[in-house]
């Protein structure tokens, strides 16, 4: 359906052309682009800078409704800040490296670069159709050498500083994507991208030493982020304090110790066994000849199990004895050493002291293998009987030698002191966070700038040779090896140190490397001698307002904070955090269900076709609070469409006759009140991202203006002011229609370069207040009283009310409560 083009009768009797977004929206998009009204200077006298950043998209092909939901409200907020008088930088770019391009290349035999760049061009067009106020002159696309050059540069700077390193170990391998992935990219034991269960694989990989900043990353007092995200990051970093304690195994492996980590050193006298992770380096040495076969088969089994199986809490706790024994230094007891796959090689020391009485897992394990269970922290009122389950809570030390009788919290400290005094171990802090694995065995990413030489070893590519270009052509059929290995022209090179034959590193970088610093690049587009200009960065960063989804809580948002701290320590930036404020929008659904191309589609194209971009923008903002997501219904959008049509009609009425009529004082006051109170409400709500209630306030205002027009008695000047406010306040949400109306009502410059109207609270205040009168908390009457009514007068008026008196009969009045401007509550005792 197209919108009718015929003239429309308005209540004022004037005929005007109909609101036709299909005509005005492309017109203004073009005019804005030509005039460059959103191009931003680094500084404008008298204006404060405001960096409004949205998480940049992956160029997947088309701008879908999820993009609209993320970017249109973000743009409205940026526009709001601009109209508040800030010099606003609102850029957009493309996170253009990554697997989909490569997979499309494999599936459809297209070039990943062409595929990506054509998607970029297409999405840029579609973003313009949204009417966003992007400064495209600062656009960046991460798959270009101008950008990834600096990924390589930072990689080398980090390497010099010891923040980049290569290590061999068990990595998470996604069998579908044919690459290793970082811990943060494993969700429920499966690849975050494709959902395939990950397996473990031993291979040398490059890491960024994010764990160096674990403690600093826990400090988040100075950033205004949702508590939820801070909590997720805290949990992910997972700091826990405890004690590393060595168990002597001299008898079986001379000179070796089993280092165990525990947060419950108060239970150390209850150790009845020690368990090693299957991957633990001492397993081989400690395994006794009679046990060799059983242990080897157990370890091989554990290795081949998937990460999901390995880490399932449902999994039965199994283990095999190594035949060796370890000595607990606290009581010199000899306890068996077992291998069990419920112990993770990657956490703590990869070995645990088994205290079945006070750890659920150890308890189950001990029961299964008939190992002794000794209570050393007595539950309150414990009678010495056997436990039915592990006792985890604090208690009193028993069977703990000199520590008997102490509360376990104290025991913990005293035992730790003794261990440290005797050199048996030391207090330790461990983290769940592990270093960021950045190597990817894929083609479409930033080449890692490293050369391997038989003579000189691992040699960084000299800075002057950067960027190491990603070759145009590659055979990227996934083979489990990096595609670049198949490209001899890329692979074979000469050593920059000795000039001899050498080969290049063929892995590429995780794409989260690209997004860790892109906000800095937006300040310095086109910079070719350095990644960004420190002077320009200083003007814009830390980002004032970052907006995006919560799914990046422990990926991008954590990596980016790490990058900032690393860059600060290398002298590139002066601040501690990249993003001062963060707002997370929720998830858009439709008819209570997840939107899905197949089963529950919601394509923006027909919606724009039928209603226009402004209506779509406003509807998405009207659905509900942005941070709680929204539930789309096809019929609901009609309400917004009707409202914008009313705004269209209202704003263009010929008000010239108004001045001829006799103005009515109360009508004029009502008009002023509506104008000023709406301005205050809308400005307050937009500041807090409450677009839904801001639009509701504007709808109420529109309805009120219609009533006041019909009732008459208002002056032409007052009306013009009231209508101008409507246009200005709606402009951030509905940029096209307001721009068109602004021009039609005689303005020659863009509404988007105007300031928001001011307001006066005293003009916004009502002259009379509606006071609720309650008897025993139940509403019995409402009274219209002067705004400055005294407490005594309000109570007297309340008591005089006939409706109230009816409820006062037959009881004793014991209390009178007055809440100024709100209510009177008369408290009665019956009888």
Under rule CB under 7 A, which residues in 463-492 are in contact with RNA? none
Contacting RNA (CB under 7 A), which of 100, 639, 680, 811?
639
Contacting RNA (CB under 7 A), which of 187, 334, 593, 669?
187
Contacting RNA (CB under 7 A), which of 169, 238, 496, 534?
238
- Asked whether position 640 contacts RNA by CB under 7 A, the answer is yes
Token reading at 749: 């410059």
Residues 6 or more apart in contact with residue 97 via CB below 8 angstroms: 142, 143, 148, 444, 445, 446, 508, 511, 514
Q: Three-class SS of residue 360?
A: helix
- Asked whether position 210 contacts RNA by CB under 7 A, the answer is no
- How many positions of this chain bind RNA (CB under 7 A)? 89
Q: Rule CB under 7 A: which of 610-629 touch RNA?
A: 622-625, 628-629
- Asked whether position 810 contacts RNA by CB under 7 A, the answer is no
Place of tokens 């204006």: 47
Q: Rule CB under 7 A: which of 270-299 touch RNA?
A: 277
- Asked whether position 593 contacts RNA by CB under 7 A, the answer is no
Contacting RNA (CB under 7 A), which of 113, 209, 230, 310?
310
Contacting RNA (CB under 7 A), which of 33, 153, 294, 347?
347
Contacting RNA (CB under 7 A), which of 635, 662, 748, 762?
635
The residue (of 343 and 613) whose beta carbon lies closer to RNA is 343
- Asked whether position 805 contacts RNA by CB under 7 A, the answer is no
Q: Smallest distance from the beta carbon of 347 to RNA, in angstroms?
A: 4
What per-residue string of b and e applies to 389-421 under the rule 16 or more CB within 10 Å gives b? ebbeebbbbbebeebeebebeebbebbbebbee
The residue (of 198 and 613) whose beta carbon lies closer to RNA is 198
The residue (of 125 and 368) whose beta carbon lies closer to RNA is 368
Q: Smallest distance from the beta carbon of 689 to RNA, in angstroms?
A: 11
What sign for the dihedral angle of Cα 808, 812, 818, 823? negative
Q: Smallest distance from the beta carbon of 621 to RNA, in angstroms?
A: 11
Give dist(CA 147, CA 692) in Å, integer: 38
| CA distances from residue 827 to 542, 773, 784, 818, 822 in whole angstroms, order as listed | 56, 11, 21, 11, 16
Q: Three-class SS of residue 76?
A: helix
Give dist(CA 532, CA 376) in Å, integer: 60
Q: Smallest distance from the beta carbon of 612 to RNA, in angstroms?
A: 14
Residues 6 or more apart in contact with residue 489 via CB below 8 angstroms: 471
The residue (of 42 and 192) whose beta carbon lies closer to RNA is 192
Q: Smallest distance from the beta carbon of 772 to RNA, in angstroms?
A: 4
The residue (of 40 and 198) whose beta carbon lies closer to RNA is 198
Segment near RNA (CB under 7 A); pick from 51-59, 74-82, 304-312, 604-612: 304-312
Q: Cβ distance 521 to 150 under 8 Å?
A: yes
Q: Smallest distance from the beta carbon of 369 to RNA, in angstroms?
A: 14
- Asked whether position 335 contacts RNA by CB under 7 A, the answer is no
- Asked whether position 112 contacts RNA by CB under 7 A, the answer is no
Q: Cβ distance 113 to 171 under 8 Å?
A: no
Give dist(CA 212, CA 431) in Å, integer: 11
Peptide bond into 81 cis (omega under 30): no
- Asked whether position 313 contacts RNA by CB under 7 A, the answer is yes
- Asked whether position 405 contacts RNA by CB under 7 A, the answer is no
Residues 6 or more apart in contact with residue 313 via CB below 8 angstroms: none
**Beta-sheet pairing, 768-775 with 492-494:** unpaired
Largest CA distance in the chain: 110
Give dist(CA 718, CA 714) in Å, integer: 7
Segment near RNA (CB under 7 A); pick from 146-154, 248-256, 346-354, 758-766: 346-354
Q: Which of 589, 643, 651, 573 is nearest to 614 (CA)?
A: 643
Contacting RNA (CB under 7 A), which of 292, 315, 477, 574?
315
Site string for RNA, 130-159 (x = CB under 7 A): ------------------------------
Q: Smallest distance from the beta carbon of 691 to RNA, in angstroms?
A: 10
Q: Which of 8, 28, 16, 67 is nearest to 734 (CA)?
A: 28
Q: Cβ distance 468 to 460 under 8 Å?
A: no
- Asked whether position 301 contacts RNA by CB under 7 A, the answer is no
- Asked whether position 235 contacts RNA by CB under 7 A, the answer is yes
Give dist(CA 481, CA 81) in Å, integer: 49
- Asked whether position 666 contacts RNA by CB under 7 A, the answer is no
Segment near RNA (CB under 7 A); pick from 155-163, 402-410, 596-604, 777-785: 777-785
Q: Cβ distance 422 to 460 under 8 Å?
A: no
The residue (of 96 and 416) whose beta carbon lies closer to RNA is 416
Place of tokens 């006066």: 760
Contacting RNA (CB under 7 A), which of 60, 263, 288, 533?
263
Q: Cβ distance 434 to 422 under 8 Å?
A: no
Q: Assign residue 665 a region: left if phi > 0, alpha if psi is -120 to 50, beta otherwise?
A: alpha
Contacting RNA (CB under 7 A), which of 71, 225, 261, 325?
261
Contacting RNA (CB under 7 A), which of 231, 469, 787, 813?
231
- Asked whether position 779 contacts RNA by CB under 7 A, the answer is yes
Q: Smallest distance from the beta carbon of 343 to RNA, in angstroms?
A: 4
- Asked whether position 791 contacts RNA by CB under 7 A, the answer is no
Give dist(CA 585, CA 617) in Å, integer: 14
Q: Smallest distance from the beta carbon of 9 to RNA, in angstroms?
A: 8
Segment near RNA (CB under 7 A); pick from 157-165, 211-219, 340-348, 757-765: 340-348
Q: Smallest distance from the beta carbon of 75 to RNA, in angstroms?
A: 20
Residues 6 or more apart in contact with residue 301 via CB below 8 angstroms: none
Q: Which of 275, 366, 265 is nearest to 326 (CA)?
A: 275
Q: Rule CB under 7 A: which of 424-443 touch RNA?
A: 432
Q: Smallest distance from the beta carbon of 648 to RNA, in angstroms?
A: 10
Give dist(CA 814, CA 603) in Å, integer: 63
Q: Rule CB under 7 A: which of 557-586 touch RNA?
A: none
Q: Smallest distance from the beta carbon of 720 to RNA, in angstroms?
A: 22
Q: Rule CB under 7 A: which of 670-729 touch RNA?
A: 690, 692-693, 695-696, 699-700, 703, 706
């Amino acid at each position: 359906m197209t919108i009718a083009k015929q003239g429309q009768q308005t209540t004022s009797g004037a005929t005007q052309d109909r609101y036709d977004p299909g005509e005005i929206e492309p017109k203004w998009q073009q005019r804005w682009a030509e005039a460059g009204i959103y191009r931003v200077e680094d500084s404008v006298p008298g204006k404060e800078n405001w960096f409004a950043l949205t998480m940049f998209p992956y160029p997947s092909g088309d701008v879908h409704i999820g993009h609209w939901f993320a970017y249109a409200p973000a743009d409205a907020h940026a526009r709001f800040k601009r109209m508040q008088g800030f010099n606003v930088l609102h850029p957009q770019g493309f996170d253009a490296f990554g697997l989909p391009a490569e997979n499309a290349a494999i599936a459809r035999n297209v070039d990943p670069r062409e595929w990506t760049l054509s998607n970029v061009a297409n999405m840029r067009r579609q973003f313009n159709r949204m009417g966003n106020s992007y400064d495209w002159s600062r656009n960046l696309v991460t798959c270009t050498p101008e950008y990834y050059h600096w990924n390589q540069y930072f990689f080398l700077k980090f390497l010099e500083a010891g923040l980049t390193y290569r290590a061999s170990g068990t990595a998470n391998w996604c069998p579908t994507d044919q690459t290793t992935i970082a811990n943060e990219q494993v969700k429920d034991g499966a690849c975050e991208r494709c959902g395939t269960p990950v397996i473990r694989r031993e291979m040398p990989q490059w890491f960024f030493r994010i764990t160096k900043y674990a403690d600093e990353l826990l400090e988040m007092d100075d950033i205004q982020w949702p508590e939820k995200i801070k909590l997720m990051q805290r949990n992910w970093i997972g700091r826990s304090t405890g004690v590393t304690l060595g168990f002597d195994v001299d008898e079986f492996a001379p000179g070796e110790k089993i280092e165990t980590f525990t947060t419950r050193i108060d239970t150390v006298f209850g150790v009845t066994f020690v368990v090693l992770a299957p991957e633990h380096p001492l397993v081989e040495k400690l395994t006794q000849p009679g046990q060799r076969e059983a242990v080897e088969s157990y370890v091989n089994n554990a290795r081949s199990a998937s990460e999901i199986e390995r880490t399932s809490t449902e999994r039965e706790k199994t283990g095999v004895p190594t035949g060796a024994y370890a000595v607990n230094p606290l009581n010199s007891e000899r306890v068996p050493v077992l291998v069990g796959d419920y112990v993770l090689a990657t956490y703590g020391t990869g070995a645990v002291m088994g205290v079945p009485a006070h750890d659920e897992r150890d308890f189950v394990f001990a029961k299964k293998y008939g190992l002794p269970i000794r209570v050393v922290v007595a539950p309150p009122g414990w009678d010495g009987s056997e436990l039915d389950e592990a006792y985890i809570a604090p208690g009193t030390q028993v069977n703990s030698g000199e520590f008997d009788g102490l509360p376990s919290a104290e025991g913990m400290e005293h035992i730790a002191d003794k261990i440290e005094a005797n050199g048996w171990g030391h207090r330790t802090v461990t983290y769940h966070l592990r270093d960021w694995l950045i190597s990817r065995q894929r083609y479409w990413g930033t080449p890692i700038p490293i050369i391997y030489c038989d003579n000189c070893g691992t040699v960084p590519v000299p800075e002057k040779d950067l960027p190491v270009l990603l070759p145009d052509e590659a055979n990227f059929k996934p083979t489990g090896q990096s595609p670049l290995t198949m490209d001899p022209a890329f692979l074979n090179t000469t050593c920059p140190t000795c000039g001899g034959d050498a080969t290049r590193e063929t892995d590429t970088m995780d794409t989260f490397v690209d997004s860790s610093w892109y906000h800095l690049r937006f300040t310095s587009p086109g910079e070719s001698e350095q990644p960004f200009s420190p002077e320009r960065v200083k003007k814009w960063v830390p980002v004032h307002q970052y907006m995006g989804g919560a799914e990046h809580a422990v990926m991008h948002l954590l990596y980016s904070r790490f990058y900032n701290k690393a860059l600060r320590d290398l002298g590139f930036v002066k601040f501690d955090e990249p993003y001062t404020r963060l707002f997370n929008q929720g998830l858009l659904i439709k008819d209570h269900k997840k939107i899905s191309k197949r089963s529950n589609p919601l394509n923006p194209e027909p919606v724009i076709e039928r209603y226009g971009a402004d209506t779509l923008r406003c509807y998405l903002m009207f659905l509900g609070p942005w941070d709680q997501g929204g539930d789309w219904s096809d019929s609901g959008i009609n309400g917004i469409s009707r409202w914008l049509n009313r705004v269209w009609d209202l704003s263009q009425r010929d008000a010239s006759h108004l001045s001829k009529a006799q103005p009515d004082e109360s009508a004029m006051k009502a008009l002023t009140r509506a104008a000023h109170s709406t301005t205050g409400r809308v400005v307050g709500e937009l500041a807090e991202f409450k677009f839904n209630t801001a639009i509701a306030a504007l709808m109420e205002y529109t309805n009120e203006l219609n009533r006041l027009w019909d009732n008459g008695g208002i002056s032409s000047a007052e009306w013009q002011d009231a209508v101008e406010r409507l246009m200005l306040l709606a402009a951030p949400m509905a940029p096209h229609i307001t721009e068109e109306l602004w021009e039609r009502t005689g303005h020659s410059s863009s509404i988007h370069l105007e300031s928001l109207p001011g307001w006066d609270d005293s003009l916004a205040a009502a002259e009379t207040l509606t006071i609720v009168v309650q008897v025993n908390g139940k509403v019995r009457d409402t009274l219209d009283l002067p705004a400055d009514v005294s407490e005594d007068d309000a109570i007297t008026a309340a008591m005089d009310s006939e409706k109230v008196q009816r409820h006062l009969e037959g009881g004793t009045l014991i209390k009178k409560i007055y809440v100024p401007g709100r209510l009177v509550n008369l408290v009665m005792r019956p009888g």
